[in-house]
Structures are given as structure tokens and as C-alpha cells.
Structure 1
């Protein structure tokens, strides 16, 4: 009997890792019906787990997915990037590019899954979806699933709370006592989690919620209490009378390390030694610098349901003007419409001041239209907006209801007594670290798909250049006038206004090849036939920008006859010829 049961289990295991046959599938709208790489998107993966998915995608779809190492982490791990495109169509390095990353903050883990879901969806949908097929013929996606693989693993496997570690694994002396990591969190009761400590105290400020014994309620001033809250599990490991004052990895913020408006620690808490002193960020910077075709970028963080764009500091308002703002607004507002619970916001104006942030470096130093998505929102629990008043209290109460009624009490550890070496008799309990900031499993794929759809819309609107028409006019005397109109069919220009002002990326070149060019000019007013001549190298006209949803017109005077080619060469808009 046991042998029969074991055989049955083995057969089931085999079925679970193999794609179904086509006759067993009824396609759900918007999803690949029978993916070659089967991935469960209702769970989280370690850094190695993400790399395994990337490897499987590249092996299953060699015509669409390439994986490369872009550098080493602080602890010596490989940082990987996936390049997703139709490699059989065009020059990959010259296609308009979209950069994506996640998990720069180690505890903000779902960015890794959202980024990898994007790669998976693009590769698997290419066979079934004409829109994706056309998109990957035109565009290239560069996806770094996790910027912070060392600390991602530490968050998942180590003794941490939902809020730690935020940084990477570089040792930092938080309390400046000359010791590092000597007094981090402790899993006191050995249950594999770091939850909260409470102690009975008639002068405490908390009582047990009579409707839910798991929850603590703060009493009004003057009312008697029952408990005092003592923070997360921990003890005084270094004998300095403090608990949990040095966190694992110390505190630095990888999103305050970028080389745009960077400020030192005494101005911007979390800044490290100097811009790009964090090796993982430096790897990304060098990768992006090697790919000037990147016109759009998104970075996945958590939490709060926000679509953020710069500037991070009010001092940088000048790096954005009305022209760029219109592009950001059009894309950001679309994001609000397809991601319920998310709000489009400007960092410095709607949140706080942040110096040395990734999105500011992308925009300020590379002229790339960039968003940061703060993933997950309490709205996802019961569809409430939680606006105004005591929002935090209402969210807290609903978290307990949600955990009980939808997670089947899987995310809360009941209060249990413990003899603390310094604090005496206490109780330990509370939410696990995987609840509060991270999407619960059944909400993970839904949120990933909506964010991916927003990202694809953004990528779709990187420049698409078309030579709309080429007109000839005989001028007599063996001379001919050739006029070409080049349109950008998408929202994002070939150069942001900030880029144009600071000449970050070289101009777009519109060339007439195969003809004897006597003169070349930009037509500044088509109706009034006004032009601006380029006297040097007239066959190759330099255009500072091809705006989104607009066109530019250039003109040449040529002598002689014969065939010729009009060629447009744009770093962010690609190469087109006619």
C-alpha cells in the first residue's frame, strides 16, 4: 500500500512541474495559457530563486531572453540583468530601451517578483499576443530583478522585522560606540520570527482590545492602562543598557547614494561615504551608462500605493519644466487609472525631501523619464481609501480583520509568556515580518500584473520614429531640393527638456546618404517656408530633439541624380531609413 501511495505522489510531483497539454487548457484573457516556464506568482523567491527563474526563461526563450552579470555585490554575489526583446528584429543596442529594477531596499522584496513577472509575462506572451510581439520587435527591456540581493536574502532568512534590514550588508556602527552589529534583533523564543514584546504594567498606556485579544489599544490620557509596549524582540547583547540600537547591516540607504544632488550624512540621513559608494548602485550606473538607448525607467519599492516621480528636493524643480511635466502627467495619470489604490505624486511636494535618489539620477544625469512605484496599499484589503482622520488606527484594525478572515490567521503569532534576562516576565507576539509591507500571496500576482501593465504603457511610449514622407523639387541647373518629415509617434521625446538644456545625450542625426549634398537645413516653419541652415557637414543634420507626438522637417539641396537614402539615427529613438 505504501509503495502505491509513493508512486502516486511521484506522479503528482511530475504533473506539477510539467506544462499541461493544449487540450487541457482554456485560456484566461490577458495571460499566457501554457507557459514554457511554470512560475507560481503567489510566493516570494530568494535571490537564487530569482536567478533560477531568469536562467529558465533564457533557456526556454533564447530568441527573447538573455541573462548577463553586471557586477558583484558587497558579499560577492553576481548581480544579473535580463535583456528582453525579439533578437531576430533589428539591432538590439539601437532599439528604444526601458530599464526596470526592484528591491533596492532589502525589505521591500516584492519589487523582485514584479520585475521578474514582467520578464516572464513578456517572454511567455510573445507567442500568443500580437501587441507583445510588436512591442518586442520595436523595444528592448533591461530588467534587474533585485539591486540588493545580499540583503534580500538576509531579510528573508535572517532575524528581522518587516522594516529591517532596509540597507545592504555593509557594516555600519549605528550608535557610534565603536562596535558593529553587536546588538541587533533577537529571536528570543526561537519561533523563527521577530515580533513585539509587551509587559504588564498598571501605568502602561495600552490595554487589550476587548473585541480582539491579539490587538493592543492605546488608552486616552488619564485612563488606566494594563500593558507597556517594549518594542521588537531583543536583549542587551553588548552590556550598554540599550536594546536593538544596532541593526544588522547598520543603516545606510542605497536610495540616497546616487550621484545627483547627493548630500552627506549630516544633511541626508542614510547617505553613505560618497555617491555610488554602494557597489550595487555603481553596477547599475555603469550598466545604464553603457545603454544610452534607455528612454524610460521604473523602480519597484514598497509600500503605500504611490506612483512617484521627481524631483526629490525642491531645489531641483528647475530640472523639470512644463514640457517634461506633461509627459510625466500623461503616463502617471494613466497609472492611477489602471492601478486602483495608487496615487501619482511628486516626491518633494507630496512626501518629503530626498537627496541622492535613484529616480533623480536617472532624470537629472541621463534625461530618462523615470518613476518609482511604492507597491502595495491597505486599499487592497477591503477596497477602502482610508482618507482623513485617524487613518492609522482604522488600517490597524482592518489588518487584524483581514489577517483573520482572509489569511486564516496565518500572519499573526499569539502572545506567549517569556522570561527575559533583563526585562523579567514579558509576553511576545504580533504580526510576522511578511505581513504589512509585503503583498499577501493571493494579492501578489494581481498587483504585479497591474504594475507590469503600467510599465509596458510607459515602455510603449518611448520614442517611435517614422519617416513620414520624402518630397523632391527640381530647382533647375542640376539642383534638386529634398525635404524629409520625421514624426515621433509616441509621448516621450527623443530628449527631455532637461537633457536638451544640458546636452546630456548627443543630438539626433538625420542624414541624406548617397547624394551630393550642397546644403542642409532644418525647416523651422513649414507653412512660412522658414529654414535654419547647418553650414558644416550639411549631409548630416543635427536635431536637438524630436518631440513626442510631433514631427520635424529637414531639407537638403543636392546636385546630380541617383538613388539616395534618408537615415534617422537617434540614441533613444533608434535608427530608421527610407
Structure 2
């Protein structure tokens, strides 16, 4: 027994030590794999497997957290790394899993969690490369400019600072000007207000294929968050030739479509329907192909959004970014689940003082620079530096801008409280999940060997058993109520099996049967995503 305790203590100590080391920065693919393996080996409630390898040779991991009959307990999927530049999402998903295993095992009594920490490992690895640039796509070679050549116009690090920023070219025919509150930031000239452009703006590099476009066909691949089936944007760079064209997308969907117990998906990504709920649009909701959240689901989204804002407490969220083919929208519109998404962090709005020029349009980049300066950060901006450029002889060309990844990912030292609050929020949603029970059971003898049974199937959760979209989905099973008979028993009235489309939270569905015979019958009710309940009833 002493040996087992010592082994457990050693595993716990090593796990703690590695967490301390990894807490210095975000994890690369190798570090993430080691961290997940350590977590899985520390608990019988955690199971780790690779669901596929990307074209870049990176594992896409799935961590299952659960106890008992996991497949027949309500479940949530927690998904990070849907956007390759969003390393925070990967970290938040892993920290959620670590919190469950280390501090909150009781959460697994009623709920199973499927955690997919990083769906874009090829892209997130660019953060750790010698040349750092914001990357969203996987390792597939692509012909984004459709000229018959692959990856022929990549980025170039013109100023040798190890990262790709922007390039501004002074030219009266340009559409860009400097921001009035901070001349480091570029904005488009508003000609309706009499503003005149002064610059062209490009990503840092050269026009290698001489087609007039800069860096439009470098390494980039297919974006996980642009290649799902809902609102897929054909012929768009990063989207792929068709929906779900990539190994990582297909592998995730193959898993999710077998997990009938999932009732909600929590995504850490650029989409945000938690700070502000999706809005119902009658025109979009009544189309043959629905493009708006349905009315009842808008109300549900507002309820959960209120819980999020109260728990997490973040304010002044930027507008939600939802490209066509996004995962968050697919999870709702095509998978029928409660779909929740948040970037988890954005630079808080800085209140200007008398020494600052007024940021009248609340420009997010201007605000980020002020926040970074206020926090004493370093290396968050590459100062505009003039240089000669072969594509613009005799013209003033400057390279500079906000460092890649920074606006989406705070320093990791700042996210402890943020992760804790998001973990708390997910637990709050789990407490709201639908849960059915049979109550108010009544039996009455009506003569001639017959018994009337009446019962209420009650949903004691706050959430409905199905979202409104879920009632339309073939991928979410209806609530099944089955009356199981013994020998010599017969149903005189009522159905042996009843399928119920949905039961609202804190609501019930009454059921009644007339049974002929003696002994006892069994009533079973439920569905994988809400759990099951049963009761034995003695006939009179």
C-alpha cells in the first residue's frame, strides 16, 4: 500500500512541477501532449486518445472526463484551438480539464466532458517558430490565388525582427491614413467625411509572383474554423475545396456524431454569443435553410449569456467574428446542440486621461497599445521602420505594427483568474442541464383486473431537454418513455413507447396508461443527453 501511495505522490509531484514549468508560456505541440498524458495518468476518470494526425504530423487530442456509465450521462464538449492564432483557447480548454481532475471530481457524478484542446495544431505551432506570424490554416499546400502554383508568394521578414507585421507605403492613391489618436495605427480613410488616403497597407513581404498582390499565397493551408458545413464560403482562401475537407474536421465530427449524450458545446474561439446573445431575425429564421437563431433559443441564449456576464465579469467585448463555415455556428445550426462560444479575453478598455488623444471611435488597436503600455508589457509593437523595397523604388516604405498573436492572447501570467472564472461558468451551465424524473405516481384500480397508472415526467433542470433547433435535428434523440410489461400483462390504453420532442426546464409531461394484469410494470424514461430514470409500479 505504501508503494502505491508513493507512486501516486510522485505522479502528483511531477504533474505539479510540469504545470509550473508550462505556466511560463503557452504550450507547443510536444509540451501539450506531455501535459495531457500527465493529466490522464494521474486519474482513472481521465482518458486520452489521439483522434487523428494532421498533415503536419501533429496529434489532435481528445480527453474524456467521466465516471460510471459515461455514454448515458449528459455531456458537454469543450473545444479549443478552433482558430489557429488563438492559443488562449487551447490553454483555457486544458485548464478546465485540469481543474476537474485536480479540484472538482464531483462534477463528473452527473456530467461527462469531452475536451478537445487544440483543433488547429499546425497553425498554433507558428507561435513557436523562428519566424512568427499569425496563422490560421493547417499544413496543406494551397493555391489561394488560383494561378496553378502552390505557396509561391509567402511572407518575408524584411526588418529581421523574427516576426511578420505590416508594411505601409506612402502614396496619395492609397486608401489608408494614421489614426488621429495614435499614428502607429492604420485605418481606412472615410471619404464621406472628406478624409483622403495617404498610404497603401500590405502584410510584410514582397510580391514574389509579380501579380500585384502581396503574400497572398504562402504557407497557410485550410482553416479549421472556415471549413464546416454551415454557411460554407466556397472559393475563399482558407475554406478548402469543400466542407469538412480536412482530417481534423472530419475526425472531430466522426466523434461528435457518435456521442448522443452531448447536449451543449463550449467553444473557446473568436465567435462570441456569451457576452451578447445571438439575435433572432424572423426572415432568417423562416427560410428553408435557417440562418438565424430561433426565437426560443434566443431566449435560452440570453439566459446563459446573463449567467456568463455575471460569473466572468468581462465588459466591452469586441464584435463577434463568425466566418462562414465556423464551428460554433455548425454546432447549433447543423448539430442542433446548445452552442456557446467566447474568445475568453480581450484588452479591457482604457480610460484616457488628459495626456492622451481621445480614442473617439474606440479603436481596438489603439486601445490595445494603451493597455499594453499601462500593463508594462514589452515587444508588443514593432515600431515603424523605413527601408528600401524593390517593389516600390523611390517611395517611402515602412515596416511595423502590432506583434502577431498579441491581441488575441494575453501574457499567460494574466490568465489564472480568467481561467478560473470560465471554469466556474461551465460548471454553472452543467448545474442548469436538463434532468428528468418520474414524480406524482398514482395507481387506481378501475375493476375487471385493470389498473390506471398516471405519472408526471418532470424536467428539474433549468435548460429544456432540447433546444428549439434540436427538436428539428435527427442528431438529438427525443425523450423516450417506455412501459415494460411482464407475463400476462396487457396495455388497454396508452402507448408502450412514447417519444417526446422536448420538455421545458422546470416543466412536466403527464402520462397515463390503463393496464390489465397483475404484478408490476416498469416505466423507463430519458435520452442519452439528459440521462435516464425508471420506476417499478405495482398493479392493483
Same-fold call, TM > 0.5?
Answer: yes
Deviation at 1:58, TM superposition (A): 0.5
Deviations 1:261-289, CA, capped at 9 Å, x for gaps: 54533xx7754222211221111111110
Offset from partner CA, 1:338-364 (integer Å, 9 cap, x none)? 23335799xxxx868854332333223
Match of 2:53 among 72, 80, 95: 72
Alignment of 1:208-357 (within 5 A): 231-240=202-211, 242-249=213-220, 252-262=222-232, 264-265=234-235, 271-302=239-270, 307=275, 316-318=284-286, 320-342=293-315, 355-357=324-326
Q: Residue in 1 aligned with 2:341?
A: 372
Counterpart pick for 1:511 among 465, 478, 482: 482
RMSD: 4.0
Summarize the Cα distance change of 1:95–1:145 in structure 2 as closer, same or farther, 3 Å threshold.
Answer: same
Deviation at 1:79, TM superposition (A): 1.4
Deviates more, 1:367-376 or 1:440-449: 440-449
Distance 1:115 1:79 in 2: 13
1:346-495 correspondence to structure 2 within 5 Å = 355-379=324-348, 390-393=360-363, 395-416=364-385, 418-423=387-392, 427-495=398-466
Conservation of the 8 A alpha-carbon contact between 1:171 and 1:181: yes
Paired residue secondary structure (1:370): strand
Distance in 2 between the 1:110 and 1:65 partners? Answer: 22
- Change in 2 beyond 3 A, CA 1:412/1:509: same
Are residues 1:97 and 2:75 paired? yes
Aligned residues: 510
Equivalents in 2 of 1:212, 1:323: separation in Å?
Answer: 44
The 2-side partners of 1:315 and 1:286 are apart by 32
Secondary structure at the aligned position of 1:38 is classed as helix
Counterpart in the other structure of 1:165: 135
The CA deviation string for residues 99-125 of structure 1, in whole angstroms up to 9 with x for no partner, is 111122211221111111111111111
The unaligned stretches of length 5 or more in structure 2 are 1-10, 536-540
Moved more, 568-577 or 297-306: 297-306
* Match of residue 53 from structure 1: 35
- Quote the Cα distance in structure 1 between the aligned partners of 2:278 and 2:187: 38
Deviation at 1:494, TM superposition (A): 2.3
TM-score (norm 2): 0.81
| Contact 1:420 1:426 (C-alpha < 8 Å) held by counterparts | yes
Residue 152 of structure 2 aligns to a residue whose secondary structure is coil
SS of residue paired to 1:375: coil
Helix, strand or coil for the counterpart of 1:460?
helix
When residues 351 and 310 of structure 1 are mapped into structure 2, their CA distance, relative to the original with a 3 A threshold, is same
Q: 1:258 to 1:400 in 2, by over 3 A?
A: closer
Aligned to 2:508: 551
Residue of structure 1 in register with 2:95 after alignment: 117
Q: Judging changes above 3 Å, is the alpha-carbon distance between structure 1 residues 166 and 218 closer, same or farther for their aligned structure 2 residues?
A: closer
Tell whether the 8 Å contact from 2:490 to 2:517 is kept in structure 1 after alignment: no
Equivalent residues of 2:260, 2:475 under 8 A apart: no
